Structure 1
Amino acid sequence: MNFLSNKLYKNKKLGLFVFFTVIILIVFISIFWWNKTKATLAKEAFNSYVNAWNKKDFKFMYDMIDEDSKSKISELDFVQRYKNIHNGIGLKKVDVEVKSLEKNKYDKDIENINFEVTMDTTAGKLKFFNVAQLRKNKSWKIIWSSKMIFPELDNEDKVWINTLNSKRGEIKDRNNKALALDGTAAEIGIIPGKLGNESEKLKEEISKLLQVPVEDINKKLSASYVQQYMFIPIKTISKDDKEKIDSLLKIPGVMVNEKKARVYPLKEKAAHLVGYVQAINADEIEKNKDSDYKNGDVVGKTGLEKIYEKVLRGKNGYEIYIVNKDGKKKKTLISTAVKNGEDLKLTIDSDMQNLLYEELSKDAGAAVAMNPKTGEVLALVSTPSYNPNDFVMGLSQDLWKNLNEDKKKPLYNRFQSNLCPGSVFKPVTAAIGLKTKSIDEEVSKNISGLKWQKDKSWGSYFVTRVDDYGQPTNLINALVHSDNIYFAQAALNIGKDKFQTELEKFGLGEKIPFEYGMSKSQFDADGDIKDEIQLADSGYGQGEILLNPLHLAAIYSSFVNSGSMIKPYIKYDETGKAEIWKNNVFSKEIADTILKDLTQVVESPGGTGHEAYISGLNLAGKTGTAEIKLSQSDVNGTELGWFAAVNTDNPKLLVIAMAQDVKERGGSHYVIPMVKKVFESFNVAK
């Protein structure tokens, strides 16, 4: 009995031990789980606050702060404080990583959250550690102060940003003359309170002078922020427009301030080449996410400004810092150094650019000047043109309409396009004919009269020429007198397959290796000459032959480079080192033959280019009159006039010019004096 009692007693004691152990474990686990759940809920509440921060839902954030915090700041002030800081520092995104959670030592209802913040700001990525406190009432609430934004920010402090404006790189010519620079313009504005009793009449005068609708002026003057004493900008114009500025300053209430602006000294004369900048738009910001563009930045829109945007663009420097209530700097949060854009030096000679533009300014045309030995492009002109300063400062509706409706298409870039070359193409056919032995320079073809067809299968179609110069009808005379029939027969003798293959060796159908994107030249729209008539017409630069003017210049460089085509370039290189684009397209002997014949085009009194003759300067040249018409019987078609010339003794200058609509104005002879003027104005004889 004693034994059994003792055993029962021991079992009862063990059971009680197990029971109480289980109870203790349950209590311990419950407390642990409660604390863990409590921490998780606090973290979730904090994450909701951060998500609202990223969404700029500042009202939701205010709802999440505790009552004590709300008693110290109103919802309106809270929302405005966050808006001011967000907008001021260009805050794009807030990333928060919770590092740890811990109970507050002094208050069991408060949870401390240690977290790391990464802010994507205008000045770059700003990283720092911070601590948030959340109080448990019915739900978790943020114990808020300004330190929740930045640890060093007190409630009376402010966050400021200082911008160090960068300088966009200048675009300069080979002699360091500016083609594009950061300069100043005249900002025209109105002080509303000084317009007086005749404000409506005065606004009409301002509207007429600035070509800004009165409605636009009224809209700016009636903005909610406008005060009677404020200067309200209306339009920016060039400082050179002194007559207009003087007229504006005579109007009561008008004031002129100096404003930084991109300036283009050559105006229309280099517009298509240099291009212009304007404020970046939302689509461009989206396409260039990795380049840190923001609203208000300028970006190259056309021309070299666009092509070399990454080189020319500067990056502003920034400092984000905290100031106390007295305006004294308290702490710098982040700073980035200013980075100015790089200058771009070109091979362009602005004097030559200016002269060629002036010569062609009355016409729709294009011109190229190049050093045929180095490939340096000295001028690239398209006429008519526009003033890029107008685009920077703001085009009026009337001016934009005029530019778009002008029949000569001033916004169209002709040096970038493809054009029918006409007879300036004949030396190419000559080179191919000599290379394939389809032409013997000494042999005279049996040609007479002003028209010819291969046989009756051509129906009513004839190849025509303007001069029956007699015999011999050999290569030199065909070039001197620009004989269409000779080169039509030459193309047929070469044959379509050989002709096309050799044209491809000249780069037709291929992208031109040049910084500025140019249209590809072609010998046929589909890459295959259709029939004998098209082949014959192609021999003298008609048919479907289309050449880019710069490509044509590269082709002509082969005549002074022993049959190799130079690679054109526009970014200045101190070494002036030449690169070959197409090597040994034909032999040196062929190049010498054609160059000799082209010299006679200018020197011979009967040569089509004799008007370009300059005593003491040996010029080789070729004229070209390209017919643009729907059919051979079309009498309403127009003509393009071409002239290409190069000095031969020590080749330094090759000039090609083209003018449209030269029919009944002399054809190619209309253009010859323009090219001659360039050689007369620039000493290339030495």
Structure 2
Amino acid sequence: MPQRSDKLKNPEQELRIFRARALLALVVVLALTSLLIGRLAYLQVVQHDVYSTRSENNRVRVEPLPPNRGLIYDRNGVLLAENRPTYNLTLVRERAEDVDETLELLVELLGLTGEDVATFYERSQQWQRPFQPVLLASDLSEKQIARLAINRHKLPGVEVEAQLLRYYPNAEIMAHALGYVGRINAEELANLDASRYAGTHFIGKTGVERFYEDALHGQAGLRKVETNARGRVLRELGRTDPVPGKDLTLTLDKSLQQLAYELMDGRRGSIVAIQPSSGEILAMVSTPGFDSNQFVTGIDRASYQALQENLDLPLFNRAIRGHYPPGSTIKPFLALGGLADGAITPDTTINDPGYYQLPNDSRRYRNWLRWGHGRVDLERSLAVSNNTFYYSLAHEMGIDSLHEQMSNFGFGQRVSHDVQSESTGLMPSREWKRERFGQTWYPGETLSVGIGQGYWQVTPLQLATATATLANRGEWVKPRIAREVGDSTLPTDLPDTPDDINLAQDSWWDRVFSGMEKVVSGREGTARRMGQGLEYRMGGKSGTAQVFSLGQDQRYDADELKERLRDHALFIAFAPIEDPQIAVAVIVENAGGGSTHAAHLARAMTDEWLLEDEAPEVDEVRETLETDTHNVEGN
């Protein structure tokens, strides 16, 4: 039989294998334990402050406290811009579990329309600093707030905040002067002081609200609160109160502003009134206006598009950005410029045949009265608004001197201290035309400038400022719209105020004032109908600015022209002459003659300011405008 070799057990070898395996297991266990202990030591000792802070942040939260925006008053303490309590919906993306799902639920709960949904999602994408709330909706209704409260457990990161929202009681009347606040956009957010604007969703966009943003806004505060696992505030642990914005008192008179708005009666144009001695802007109206409250919470697309497509341009601030040929309103300034230049004397007289001709030129530059005014001196040239006198004067002065003298009154430059986005207008010069068109200046263009036509463009604010400087006998006081910022009164002597206009003889002012007084009170005055029954001495000047040029032998016929091609009506005035308290500039687009369609508005403004209770009612002024249709001035 074959022999079988059986393997015998070797206890010693098995023991050695077991000991080796046990030792390896022990080493692994010890290594893992050491690693765990090391990790615990690292977390508990080395990273103690980091994780302690993280843990505290899960329980304690720092929230910004936006400041209350300063209020805005008129010169008499009438509230023009206030803050009303409202509820806003905000979202902190970092605390939301699923932003898209949260937004979908919010849309459902708020019951938004299709257009509102698009705006809602657009706002949700607005860039914001980490852990800063994004404003999704403003001015929530009680029903919306109730729905959000019931579903609060489904909306982590969503909060309903009680805040004060800007409101303008006289929105349309004050829209262009005050401006408005609106939501902070991404570009603005990137440039703002994060600590100062923490928790703030609105900023001044235009007008006074924008120019005085730093004063009106204030300084944000903060509070430290304890929250539960769902983020609900349990108690307040500490607080740094916000610093409210400063209240602003304007120079505007609400009653005068409202009168100016009503006098315009929805027509396109502007009225600006200034107190000559102080430069305070008493009224600054641009019509038509718009409801500035729509822009605070965010105007819907349809409404904004309607405003943009409106041919009357309600969003356009005509008072400071509208460019108009000044027409005959510049004749008093040109007369003073001619006296200062030496081109004329107070006794200069011309014979007006109804036109003016340049030497060696067959073209006739016509007076508005085609058969002429005969013998015309300085005062009569103003009273009857004679063109021929000023054609001759402009030619004698030349465009270089004319530009220099008119620039002294502020034409072609920004004139105010604190009016946001003011335009410079255009005071043409030889150099300007060469740079703009690459062409030389022609003598005929000087004649056009001499009657306020051609390239010359002014803003209503510029025209009112020049009138105030004229009333001051050349003393410059820069216009301003703010009177007090907080407890500080704005000084009268402002930096960058132009130099005063000094004439060789003070009597030259008297001669020009006399001519302007004859405009409203003289037998031949172009605005003599307006001046009937005046209880004070007024200096005025009418103007009618052509929107398009007439040919050599063409005659102006308003009835045959489309409404928007008709002449603009202008009038400037100041009163009383011996101690001017108010200077006014009126521009009514496409209305026709200034002596008919603008002079009565200026009279109503001065009556309101000087006579108070004796001032005529708006309906009386409108009735006068309807009956006084005879235009005694043609330029």
Question: TM over 0.5: same fold?
Answer: yes
Secondary structure in 2 aligned to 1:285? helix
Structure 1 counterpart of 2:566, which letter? Answer: T
Residue among 454, 473, 478 paired with 1:562: 473
Taking structure 2 as the reference length, the TM-score comes to: 0.71
Tell me which residue corresponds to 1:627: 546
Note closer, same or farther for the CA distance 1:175–1:290 as it changes in structure 2 (3 Å cut): same
Tell me which residue corresponds to 2:61: 160
Tell me which residue corresponds to 1:610: 528
Structure 2 counterpart of 1:555, which letter? Answer: A
Secondary structure in 1 aligned to 2:540? strand
Tell me which residue corresponds to 1:14: none
Structure 1 residue 567: deviation in Å?
Answer: 1.7
Tell me which residue corresponds to 1:661: 590
Does residue 431 in structure 1 map to residue 360 in structure 2?
A: no
Structure 1 counterpart of 2:289, which letter? Answer: S
Secondary structure in 2 aligned to 1:611? coil
Structure 1 residue 468: deviation in Å?
Answer: 4.5
Q: Which moved more, 1:461-470 or 1:373-382?
A: 461-470
Structure 2 counterpart of 1:603, which letter? Answer: S
Tell me which residue corresponds to 1:133: 45
Tell me which residue corresponds to 2:367: 464
Distance 2:76 2:591 in 1: 35
Tell me which residue corresponds to 1:480: 383
Structure 1 counterpart of 2:262, which letter? Answer: E
Structure 2 counterpart of 1:445, which letter? Answer: I
CA contact under 8 A between 2:540 and 2:573: conserved in structure 1? Answer: yes
Distance 1:427 1:283 in 2: 47
Tell me which residue corresponds to 1:642: 570
Does residue 581 in structure 1 map to residue 498 in structure 2?
A: yes
Note closer, same or farther for the CA distance 1:216–1:299 as it changes in structure 2 (3 Å cut): closer
CA contact under 8 A between 1:356 and 1:381: conserved in structure 2? Answer: yes
Note closer, same or farther for the CA distance 1:457–1:527 as it changes in structure 2 (3 Å cut): same
CA contact under 8 A between 1:624 and 1:668: conserved in structure 2? Answer: yes
Q: Which moved more, 1:556-565 or 1:407-416?
A: 556-565
Tell me which residue corresponds to 1:551: 462
Q: Deviations over 1:482-513 (max 9, x none)?
A: 11111111111122332223233333343324
Structure 1 residue 553: deviation in Å?
Answer: 2.0
**Alignment map for 1:370-385 (pairs within 5 Å):** 370-385=274-289
Distance 2:49 2:481 in 1: 61
Secondary structure in 2 aligned to 1:572? strand
Secondary structure in 2 aligned to 1:489? helix
CA contact under 8 A between 2:197 and 2:220: conserved in structure 1? Answer: no
**Alignment map for 1:183-198 (pairs within 5 Å):** 183-184=84-85
Q: Larger radius of gyration, structure 1 or 2?
A: 1
Secondary structure in 2 aligned to 1:355? helix
Structure 1 residue 561: deviation in Å?
Answer: 2.0
CA contact under 8 A between 2:582 and 2:609: conserved in structure 1? Answer: no
Note closer, same or farther for the CA distance 1:594–1:143 as it changes in structure 2 (3 Å cut): closer
Distance 1:303 1:327 in 2: 39
Distance 1:591 1:626 in 2: 25
Distance 1:629 1:566 in 2: 35
Structure 1 residue 292: deviation in Å?
Answer: 4.0
Structure 1 counterpart of 2:303, which letter? Answer: L
Structure 1 counterpart of 2:335, which letter? Answer: A
CA contact under 8 A between 1:565 and 1:585: conserved in structure 2? Answer: no
CA contact under 8 A between 1:434 and 1:441: conserved in structure 2? Answer: yes
Structure 2 counterpart of 1:133, which letter? Answer: V
Does residue 676 in structure 1 map to residue 603 in structure 2?
A: yes
Does residue 535 in structure 1 map to residue 446 in structure 2?
A: yes
Q: Deviations over 1:274-323 (max 9, x none)?
A: 11111101111112246643575210111111111111002332122446
Structure 1 residue 472: deviation in Å?
Answer: 2.6
Distance 1:593 1:659 in 2: 29
Does residue 265 in structure 1 map to residue 175 in structure 2?
A: no
Note closer, same or farther for the CA distance 1:506–1:312 as it changes in structure 2 (3 Å cut): same
Structure 1 residue 649: deviation in Å?
Answer: 2.9
CA contact under 8 A between 1:279 and 1:296: conserved in structure 2? Answer: no
Residue among 69, 72, 84 paired with 1:171: 72
CA contact under 8 A between 1:183 and 1:261: conserved in structure 2? Answer: yes
**Alignment map for 1:319-468 (pairs within 5 Å):** 319-322=223-226, 332=238, 335-417=239-321, 418-449=323-354, 451-455=355-359, 457=361, 459=363, 462-466=365-369, 468=371
Note closer, same or farther for the CA distance 1:642–1:654 as it changes in structure 2 (3 Å cut): same
Residue among 504, 508, 523 paired with 1:590: 508
Q: Deviations over 1:129-153 (max 9, x none)?
A: xx9636xxxxxxx689951526xx3
Note closer, same or farther for the CA distance 1:594–1:235 as it changes in structure 2 (3 Å cut): same
**Alignment map for 1:309-320 (pairs within 5 Å):** 309-320=213-224
Uncovered stretches (5+) of structure 1, i.e. residues with no partner = 1-65, 69-106, 113-130, 135-141, 189-202, 222-232, 238-244
Structure 1 residue 568: deviation in Å?
Answer: 1.3
CA contact under 8 A between 2:223 and 2:237: conserved in structure 1? Answer: no
Distance 2:607 2:405 in 1: 35
CA contact under 8 A between 2:352 and 2:372: conserved in structure 1? Answer: no
Distance 1:379 1:466 in 2: 34
Does residue 508 in structure 1 map to residue 437 in structure 2?
A: no
Q: Deviations over 1:317-372 (max 9, x none)?
A: 2122446889765965xx43311000111111111111101111421101110111
Secondary structure in 1 aligned to 2:546? strand
Structure 1 residue 186: deviation in Å?
Answer: 9.6
Distance 2:399 2:228 in 1: 83
Distance 1:67 1:669 in 2: 97
For this pair of structures, how many residues does the alignment match? 507
Distance 2:357 2:285 in 1: 39
Structure 1 residue 656: deviation in Å?
Answer: 0.8
Q: Which moved more, 1:317-326 or 1:341-350?
A: 317-326
Note closer, same or farther for the CA distance 1:361–1:514 as it changes in structure 2 (3 Å cut): farther
CA contact under 8 A between 2:178 and 2:207: conserved in structure 1? Answer: yes
Taking structure 1 as the reference length, the TM-score comes to: 0.66
Structure 1 residue 631: deviation in Å?
Answer: 5.3
CA contact under 8 A between 1:281 and 1:295: conserved in structure 2? Answer: no
Does residue 288 in structure 1 map to residue 204 in structure 2?
A: no
Tell me which residue corresponds to 1:298: 202
CA contact under 8 A between 1:217 and 1:234: conserved in structure 2? Answer: no
Distance 1:443 1:215 in 2: 69
Query: Sequence identity of aligned pairs in percent?
Result: 25
Structure 1 residue 443: deviation in Å?
Answer: 3.2
Note closer, same or farther for the CA distance 1:291–1:259 as it changes in structure 2 (3 Å cut): closer
Distance 2:177 2:72 in 1: 11
Distance 1:331 1:398 in 2: 46
Structure 1 residue 548: deviation in Å?
Answer: 2.4
Distance 1:299 1:146 in 2: 38
Secondary structure in 2 aligned to 1:610? coil
